[in-house]
Amino acid sequence: MALTGLEIYKRLPKENCKECGVATCLAFAMKVAAGQAGLNDCPRLSEEARAALGEASAPPQRLVKIGPDSSLIEVGQETVMFRHDDRFQHPTAVALTMSDAGDEAALRKACRAFKELRFTRVGQTLQADMIALANESGSQDKMLAAVKTIHGEVPVPMVLSSESIDCLAAAASGPLAGTRPVVWCTGNPPAEKLAELGTKTDAVLCIAGDLQSVADRVEAVMAKGARNILISPGPVPGPRALEFLTQARRAALNKKFRPLGFPALTIACGQDKNAAALDACAYVCKYSAVVISDAWEPYLLLAILTARQNIYTDPQKPVQVEPRLYELGEVTPESPLLVTTNFSLSYYSVESEVEASRVPCRILAVDTEGTSVLTAWAADKFNAETITAALKGSGVADKVRHRQLVIPGHVAVLAALIAEESGWKVLVGPKEASGIGAFLKNDWKIS
């Protein structure tokens, strides 16, 4: 039975020292009760109180650490079912598949491809996080050799799957010792052996099956001392996986059902690559902590990473860039000046089109609290006054010889007002960023 905030508060030091990052012990107790903080965050808690509160105050979903310190991934400790209630905390880790059945040259080639699969979107670099290696050869020696090769080439966190628990133990205590690999034994070993692997190494155990069998097995391995666990529906069709993910999350968060209070791992692989990538996107949204995917084609992987990027932002804080003057290319006093908002997607849409045009430009990102052009205009945050204030505050007048600026075509209605307020000549640019290149070449001229 989970403890209430007041029950936890009674055992806290009540010193209100703020070392836990929270203003008071009472507020901290409420956060612990809600699963948003752990007792370890209070450095002043006595061992006696820690033991008394123990498991009962653990978050409804545990935090699990995967991978070496240099590329550590944290998953779990989610607190809400719905993103509009609060943000999702720890982004889904995407693991790309490899097999130990091929030769070393094939593995090295796959590692090179893994490193090259990087994308830039709204100013962030997107890439897969892990490698999922399957023991398809059935040979322990081949598995260990593959692990060594991959770990030497790309020291990212790994998921290992094998029918043989001995093979997994050899990898986790050998080449991957100290790197917290996820180990998934498909051979259904006894719970004692699985727990032994989890307690003698720092491996994270993946326990797969239907909800009931997973809950029973988690209880069994926890009784033997294992704590680092991922739960999984296994290789099942998309709808069944989503059912598992949703029911497990509900049981953990709403019912505080401890055996299912662990982050989940799903598999989105198959002959139909498009369907598998769609499954992966759905698992990212609801509620997978690790997705094993065979989306090696850039257009498929980018779709999954984009879904993750969108889902794991804070819905109450629009993604925004710093509101200021940006200079792209070798600008001169004659270079065009474009105005947009500081909503990331708006800014980066303009920036990428300017870069593609190869025309050096200045872009003035006006502070609209991260809202897009039309939203900001409707909310009266992108108007003649705010744009004029941004012009003056940016110091752009000292950098350009002209007094001309280009506004987005969607707010053409503001042109006369901005001209009157600022004294600058206002050119109405294209409605969509895709028209910027042609506009710069054909319509921009200093008059």
Quote the least distance from Cβ 16 to ligand SF4, whole Å. Answer: 5
Q: Which is nearer to ligand SF4, 48 or 272 (CB)?
A: 48
Binding-residue pattern over the window 18 to 47 for ligand SF4, x denoting contact by CB under 6 A = xxx-x--x--x-------------x-x---
State the minimum distance, in angstroms, from the CB of residue 411 to ligand SF4. Answer: 48
Q: Which of 3, 12, 295, 391 binds ligand SF4 (CB under 6 A)?
A: 12
Min dist CB 15 to ligand SF4, Å, is 4
Q: Report the site for ligand SF4 in 171-200 (rule: CB under 6 A).
A: none
Nearest approach in angstroms of CB 26 to ligand SF4 is 9
Binding pattern to ligand SF4, positions 362-401, x when CB under 6 A? ----------------------------------------
* Rounded least distance, CB 118 to ligand SF4, Å: 40
Minimum CB separation from ligand SF4 for residue 77, in Å? 18
Query: How many residues at the interface with ligand SF4, by CB under 6 A?
Result: 13
Nearer to ligand SF4, 44 or 401 (CB): 44
Q: Cα 18 from chain centroid?
A: 28
Of 14-22, 187-195, 212-220, 221-229, which segment contacts ligand SF4 by CB under 6 A?
A: 14-22
Closest distance between ligand SF4 and the C-beta of residue 45, in Å?
A: 6
**For ligand SF4, which is the closer residue by CB, 20 or 433?**
20
For ligand SF4, which is the closer residue by CB, 59 or 263? Answer: 59
> Could you say which of 17, 113, 223, 412 contacts ligand SF4 (CB under 6 A)?
17
CB of 28 to ligand SF4, least distance (A): 4
Q: Which stretch binds ligand SF4 (CB under 6 A): 17-25, 143-151, 226-234, 355-363?
A: 17-25
List own/partner pairs for 33-39 with CB under 8 A and 24 or more apart: 33/2, 33/3, 33/4, 33/5, 33/8, 33/57, 34/5, 34/79, 35/59, 35/60, 35/61, 35/77, 35/79, 35/253, 36/79, 38/63, 38/77
How far apart are CB 37 and ligand SF4 at their closest, in Å?
9
Q: Single out the residue of 13, 102, 235, 360 in contact with ligand SF4 (rule: CB under 6 A).
A: 13
Does position 16 interact with ligand SF4 (CB under 6 A)? The reply is yes
Which range binds ligand SF4 by CB under 6 A, 13-21, 47-55, 142-150, 184-192? Answer: 13-21
Considering only residues 40 through 79, tell me which ones interact with ligand SF4, judged by CB under 6 A: 42, 44
**Contacts to ligand SF4 by CB under 6 A:** 12-13, 15-20, 22, 25, 28, 42, 44
